[in-house]
Amino acid sequence: MQTIFLGTPALAVPFLERLHQKTKIAAVIAAPDQPAGRGYELKAPEVKIAAQKLSLSVLQPETLKNPAVIDQIRAFNAEVGIVVAYGKLLPKDVLGIPKHGFLNVHFSLLPKYRGAAPIQWALIHGETETGVTLFWLDEGMDTGPIFLQKRIAIQPEDDAQSLRNKLVDLGVLCLEEAVDLIERSEIKRIPQAGEASKAAILKKEDGRIDWAKPAEAIWNQVRGMTPWPGTFTGGLKIVKAHLLFESGPGEPGRIMSVVSGEGPVVKCGQHSLALLQVQPEGKKPMSAWSWWQGARLKIGDQIG
């Protein structure tokens, strides 16, 4: 089966590699190289690097609306296009080019968490289940009909990084199954049903901790925003924490106690949070216990 692949970051590379094993990839389309580092030298996206290692043709158009680019895509005669974190909406003139259309890999149980940060917002909202949806692209934002959907439990120890890794593994298996179904002409287009929600791109300010919130909400915030943008209070980033169903006197943000070998326990609007790993400004992540020993704070002080 002839395919084309659209993707940009490292997250998309395992999908490209599996598609290369399963189909004949006519071309890979990635975002243009971007300036990076202190010297602002152009850096190729990870998908481009991986595609070149596989000796695949790579296109990096600034826009897919260019008639010459559209003609190039049409000339590939692809039966299906696979899209994983490409980063741009596909225009109407492109959507209809492959015989079966474009199949997008999305890391949520659509229609929940449409948008750029579905993994993070599922954690922030305290979901206990998420999954991968392979759906057919239309002109909307993650609104097209569903082909395949697989579920996975979210564990209490999961953060955005660990959950992403699990969903990538699940997604690659979904892609493999989808390719087999398409080759057997067993294609489904199931309209999305249920309440839709959005997963807007995160901003650094979203990581600011409000200790007046319940401990569970702050704990979910830490999980959903690790590794980026991170949750912070003053100049201290909270990397890992543990939810405690206990409280005490004083204002939220007060250090209630210290667990030897672990770290301080901070009062929240409801219940409390035990800090396990932190990152002081300008330093590397460290255990909360190591930080506490040099922090010159005492029980009863306000953190941050």
**Which residues of the chain are in CATH 3.40.50.170 domains?**
2-183
Compute the distance between CA of residue 267 and CA of residue 261 in angstroms, rounded to an integer: 19
State the span(s) of the chain assigned CATH 3.10.25.10: 204-294
> If you average pLDDT over every residue of the chain, what do you get?
96
The answer, yes or no, to whether residue 269 has pLDDT greater than 80, is yes
pLDDT over 80 (residue 304): no
- Residues 217-268 pLDDT 10s: 999 999 999 999 999 998 999 999 999 999 888 899 999 999 999 999 999 9
User: 190-208: b or e for each residue (b if 16 or more CB lie within 10 Å)?
Assistant: eebeeeebebeebeeebbe
Average pLDDT over residues 270-299: 96
pLDDT of residue 253: 97
Distance of alpha carbon 215 from the chain centroid: 24
- The CA-based angle 97-100-104, given to 5 degrees, is 90
Give Dmax over CA atoms of the chain in angstroms. Answer: 70
Contact, 151 vs 109, CB < 8 A? yes
Residue 173 neighbours by CB distance under 10 Å: 14
Q: What are the counts of helices (DSSP H) followed by strands (DSSP E) for the chain?
A: 8, 15
What does the H/E/C string look like for 136-201? ECCCCCCCCCEEEEEEEECCCCCCHHHHHHHHHHHHHHHHHHHHHHHHCCCCCCECCCCCCCECCC
CATH number, span 204-294? 3.10.25.10
With CA atoms as reference, report the closest residue to 267 among 278, 252, 280. 252
pTM for the model: 0.95
Cβ–Cβ under 8 Å, residues 164 and 152: no
Which pLDDT score, from 0 to 100, does residue 40 have?
A: 82
| pLDDT value at residue 248 | 86
- 261-285 average pLDDT score: 96
Q: How confident is the model at residue 38 (pLDDT cuts 50, 70, 90)?
A: confident
- Asked whether the predicted pLDDT for residue 58 surpasses 80, the reply is yes
CATH class given for the domain over 2-183: alpha beta
pLDDT of res. 302 = 95
So what's the pLDDT on residue 37? 81
pLDDT at 126: 98
Q: What is the pLDDT of residues 129-164, one digit of tens each?
A: 999 999 999 999 999 999 999 999 999 999 999 999
Tell whether the model's pLDDT for residue 69 goes beyond 90: yes
Q: What is the pLDDT of residue 182?
A: 98
Residue 190 has pLDDT above 80, yes or no: yes
Report pLDDT for 36.
85
**Residue 39 pLDDT level (bands cut at 50, 70, 90):** confident
pLDDT of residue 179: 98
Separation CA 126–CA 101 (nearest Å): 34
What is the DSSP secondary structure assignment for residue 68, as one 8-state letter? H
pLDDT score of 226: 96
Taking residues 45-71, report their average pLDDT: 97
- DSSP string over 230-284: -EEETTEEEEEEEEE----SS-TTBEEEEETTTEEEEE-SBSEEEEEEEEETTS-
More confident residue, 191 or 40: 191
Q: What is the mean pLDDT of residues 200-207?
A: 96
